[in-house]
Amino acid sequence: ARTLAAFAETHERAYPLYMAELRGLAHGVGVPLAHILALNLHQELAHFAPNRSALAPAAAHCSDYALHPWVAHNEDSAVDEAGTLFLAQVRIDNGGFTAAVYAGDLPSGAFGCNGHGLCFSLNSVEPHSAAYAARGRGFVSRELLRAARTMRAAIAIATADGQSVGHSYQLAALLPGGGGEIVQVEAVERGVHALTVVAPGGPPVFHSNHLRFIQPPVAQSISNSSAHRLARAQVLPVPTSAADLLRVLGDGVDTSFPVFHDAASRAAGDVSGEETLGSALIDVNAGSLSLFAGNPADPRSQRAVLAIARPGAGRRGVSARLPS
């Protein structure tokens, strides 16, 4: 209770608007604010639990593969969280946003795009060290949706000092005249971070759930699933298209720890305890966000394509373009 109160004080001061959102959510579902706040800070709180080894989450959720102009994302979570991920399309004065949202969470702990053409996807990481009563990763990603209007602003938000555990971000910013920028960001406490630009014609960047680029290396926990997914991506042919990226995200050749998780993967021997709740593909050239229900490598999987507004285009937000 004391640790949660300390984190609550920090977030009341740093993010009063988002604390107000959580109060409204707690009121709407009829549970104490402390329950909702703890849900939104579960990874941070686990670092300071008396029996951390039993409570700390395994950073084994989500895979990303970026190759300009695309960012491909698998949203993974525990099997028992199937059915808890929703798509929120919000219209508010600053342009609103479209984001995948877990029940009870701030948007977004998964992926999203705001009304200024700034998109992101996320990977959980598990550094051994974390800052006490510092800012939670879920609040940082909520700030990206509200306040980031450019890549420079998004990087400043994602890498700012004062974070507790940190996160991995794939940032994608549409440019007014067409095209866009993609930057992979790793950020941990004390403002330590690494930026990897995914440039046109440059190499692709795969990220699972451990820190790869921060130097000197940060002490961290690396799950079997995260290590296996990265290893599998590294032995597959280098992708040159969006279809190639999606084939990697749908891969199941490593039957114990596949890249894509579902009932079929578990029947084949998947022991990760994970479920891929959905997949997404951001395209900064086309200005689109594609959503996949089912294996993204399977052309039979249900798909919807949403249009992302470019800065200065005269409209804001993300809207349906072509369900298929």
Helix (H, G, I), strand (E, B) or coil at 253: coil
First to last CA, the chain: 48
- CB of 8 within 8 A of CB of 37? yes
> Of 141, 136, 202, 148, whose CA–CA distance to 169 is shortest?
141
- What is the model's pLDDT at position 55? 46
Low-confidence stretches of the chain (pLDDT beneath 70): 52-59, 94, 313-324
- What is the model's pLDDT at position 227? 96
Burial string for 255-273 (b: 16+ CB within 10 Å, else e) reads: eebbbbbbeebbeeebebe
- What is the model's pLDDT at position 29? 94
Cβ-Cβ contacts under 8 Å for 88 (sequence gap 6 or more): 97, 98, 99, 100, 101, 107, 108
Give CA torsion, residues 103, 130, 7, 39, to 10 deg: 20
Residue for token digits 């990087």?
A: 155
- What is the model's pLDDT at position 93? 74
What digits encode the pLDDT tens for the residues 97-148?
A: 999 999 999 999 999 999 999 999 999 999 999 999 999 999 999 999 999 9
- CB of 137 within 8 A of CB of 157? no
CA–CA dist 56, 47 (Å, integer) = 6
CA–CA dist 228, 208 (Å, integer) = 9
Cβ-Cβ contacts under 8 Å for 235 (sequence gap 6 or more): none
- What is the model's pLDDT at position 323? 42
Q: In what order do the strands lie in the sheet with 193-197?
A: 85-90, 97-102, 111-114, 118-123, 167-174, 180-187, 193-197
Cβ-Cβ contacts under 8 Å for 294 (sequence gap 6 or more): 262, 300, 301, 302
- What is the model's pLDDT at position 58? 53
Q: Tell me 203's DSSP state.
A: -
Which tokens sit at 299? Answer: 């052309």
Helix (H, G, I), strand (E, B) or coil at 101: strand
Measured in degrees and rounded to the nearest 5, phi and psi for residue 224 equal -60, -40
- What is the model's pLDDT at position 319? 57
Which tokens sit at 159? Answer: 């890498």
CB atoms within 10 A of CB 179: 15
- CB of 77 within 8 A of CB of 277? yes
- What is the model's pLDDT at position 59? 53
CA–CA dist 14, 171 (Å, integer) = 22
Q: Tell me 266's DSSP state.
A: H
CA 99-100-104 angle, 5° bins:
110
